Structure 1
């Protein structure tokens, strides 16, 4: 690949190293990328409110693709530019179908307003049975209240299943009506509106810069990164990546704890 015209990177398990921080080597490499005028875009399953700290650590303040492609976020202006969510009818239909097919599932949803921490929006709500896998308290609501508002992402948890098994069961039931993926191995899957992936979100950013897919290098490690790795001109999986990501990557780099992103970008920057 010639020098990339745009760099895109997943966050967890990819850009972040030990202690969920961006290493000095990777930060320095990102700075060299930006110094050439080349955009560096964060593409993550995280909601916008979880992005500014990572962006500050990495030294970036441009666009971020959040919630697996459901949100286009301007970091520097703290502004949600676009969101592609699940409407209440779809949330209710998915919830009923999964509850019937996979007893024991519990639900949560992610919401966003006009900024990362819009005071008029409850960003993360869950029913009582939902057990969280990260240290953030959810607003506890009834399922009816949860599914009564549009959401950028539905989270489904089953503590007795792996994420892969739960995703397979969900795909069998939902049959392409929504996008089912996952970014952890803790019995948690993430559901987005039909056609919404990291690839579609990144494509929207690329269009704003006038860059085509062949000019993009993208980094990732989990199944939610697969569409982006396939779409980009050069998809790079981390050594610690899930097999689904390894299978579609054009190249495999070192792990996220060994500056795998920096090792590739140092070829050009």
Structure 2
């Protein structure tokens, strides 16, 4: 591997990457992130998580800068608790069209929609709405339950589809055959869940806005990830790093492979400089 200069910006996925298997941030990882920020290097969370799931991670990590949320659709200012920008809203007409196609490809699937307001928990917005029997691989219990018409009736930053009888790879393949590029399909869990976003909106496009705001060249960005929703980010960054626990396609794409998230793989790389 070629020598890599000290990065000017660190971008990291959260689940399966920055956090350990128990979804906790270790002291080792927390320490190296603190040293990087103290050295003037921004740390940006780049995640499929919505803004409302960011503060708990950011507080543990001591981060107050930007987070790229919802796979690039939302730019969130952690310190100000403010949604800075939203890209690629899925309008109701498109949501209905996608839902009809999904019923053909994934009979029996259940849908959910992610919406966003002005802050992480805007009281004027129902952030997450789900159909009855929608299954969340990270644990059920979140979201307000409504009929499908309500799920599809308002603009969303992300549409999610779950299926109890399929894994995410199978779902993405089947959905891709009927959606024909009208939306982008990705996933951050293998547990029977796919995420659909406006075409061309990825973690890479979200980070491109961050580096423009911070005046950092993309080639001086190091990015860490583990799942297909990280692929574009790893290709875009000057140095893309996959976790050893990553999806096979991510492992093939990355410039470098580090230790798994259970062994502080992000910290092991960053300790070269911080």
Are 1:79 and 2:98 an aligned pair? no
Matching residue within 102, 126, 129 for 1:125: 129
In the alignment, is the contact (CA less than 8 A) between 2:66 and 2:77 conserved in 1? yes
**Aligned equivalents of 1:18, 1:166: Cα separation in 2:** 24
Q: Which residue of 1 aligns with 2:7?
A: 4
- Superposed CA deviations along residues 230-269 of structure 1, whole A, max 9, x for unmatched, are 1000000001111011010000000101111011011111
Matching residue within 193, 196, 208 for 2:201: 196
| SS of the residue 1:184 aligns to | coil
Are 1:264 and 2:254 an aligned pair? no
Are 1:28 and 2:31 an aligned pair? yes
Instruction: Tell which deviates more after alignment, 197-206 or 136-145.
Output: 136-145
**Aligned equivalents of 1:166, 1:18: Cα separation in 2:** 24
**Aligned equivalents of 1:248, 1:130: Cα separation in 2:** 32
Q: Which residue of 1 aligns with 2:179?
A: 174
**Aligned equivalents of 1:17, 1:160: Cα separation in 2:** 27
Matching residue within 46, 57, 61 for 2:60: 57
Per-residue deviation, 1:105: 1.1
Root mean square deviation of aligned Cα: 0.9
Per-residue deviation, 1:142: 1.2
Matching residue within 90, 94, 98 for 1:90: 94
- Superposed CA deviations along residues 138-188 of structure 1, whole A, max 9, x for unmatched, are 211111111110011100011111100000111111111111000111110
Q: Which residue of 2 aligns with 1:233?
A: 238
In the alignment, is the contact (CA less than 8 A) between 2:137 and 2:189 conserved in 1? no
**Aligned equivalents of 1:25, 1:183: Cα separation in 2:** 24
Q: Which residue of 2 aligns with 1:134?
A: 138
Per-residue deviation, 1:131: 2.1
Q: Which runs of 5+ in 1 are unaligned?
A: none
**Aligned equivalents of 1:134, 1:16: Cα separation in 2:** 14
Tell me the TM-score normalised to structure 1 length: 0.98
Q: Which residue of 1 aligns with 2:109?
A: 105
Per-residue deviation, 1:72: 0.2
Per-residue deviation, 1:23: 0.6
Q: Which runs of 5+ in 2 are unaligned?
A: none
**Aligned equivalents of 1:222, 1:18: Cα separation in 2:** 14
- Superposed CA deviations along residues 105-147 of structure 1, whole A, max 9, x for unmatched, are 1100111100000000011101113123233322111111111
**Aligned equivalents of 2:258, 2:63: Cα separation in 1:** 22
After superposition, residues 14-25 of structure 1 pair within 5 angstroms as: 14-25=17-28
Tell me the TM-score normalised to structure 2 length: 0.96
Runs of at least 4 residues off by over 6 Å: none
**Aligned equivalents of 2:186, 2:104: Cα separation in 1:** 20
Instruction: Tell which deviates more after alignment, 94-103 or 37-46.
Output: 94-103
Per-residue deviation, 1:59: 1.0
Q: Which residue of 1 aligns with 2:69?
A: 66
Per-residue deviation, 1:18: 4.1
Q: Which residue of 1 aligns with 2:226?
A: 221
